[in-house]
Structure 1
Amino acid sequence: MLAFVAKALLAGVMIAAIAEVGRRLPTMGALIASLPLVSILGMIFLWMARPDAENMARHAEATFWYVLPSLPMFLLIPMLLRQGANFWLALGLGCAVTILLYLGMMQIGPRLGLRL
């Protein structure tokens, strides 16, 4: 339980740091947010719990393929905001499109031979 709390606190600190840096320097906040810190920490914690090279390789590869469907969200949200859309609407639509793309990846990926 202590390990879970430590992981949750670390994630919270990361999010708070990104928000604080982004408030002052939006581009720097975006750079920090784009770093695969969560993925790296996830891999470290997964390795510590189950040091299995094949399991880790599958995890890292699947992470790559699941990042791709999330990328359009980062173009859709600014486009909607610049056209005058409400932030919450733009965020909601961006998330909805991402969910649809994730579902599509889950359906199409295995047909293309991807191990997701």
Structure 2
Amino acid sequence: MAVFGPGDTRKNLKLAIAGETYEIEEMYPAYIEVAKFQKEKKVHKEVLNGPGVLKKMHKMIYEKALESVNSGKDPELGPIQVCEVCGYTLEGDAPDVCPICGALKEKFTAFE
């Protein structure tokens, strides 16, 4: 159950950052340890290279948004690119190939 929703943007961004931080620092490391214990090398690699990377990108974007809210200014962002296949998210130009799933540049949607 999400603890954020309509209401205070600053609070919602702080909660989103806390959620991403939890996943980066607690949840995914636990998944990795279980994968190591079970000798699931492929899963271990996928967790490190997939969702873990996505969470770090999300956290960075939320932090930038919170800085803007705190300063009372609109955020200065380049286009936000999202891979339609795996959800990889970045600011700037879409890569030729998604570093997470290998989808081609055409599978990225830009939000400006």
Task: Please confirm whether the aligned pair reaches a TM-score higher than 0.5, indicating the same fold.
Answer: no
* Structure number, greater radius of gyration: 1
TM-score normalised to structure 2 length: 0.40
Provide TM-score, normalisation by structure 1: 0.39
Write 1 or 2 for the structure with the bigger share of helix. Answer: 1
Structure with the bigger RCO (C-alpha within 8 Å, sep 6+) is: 2
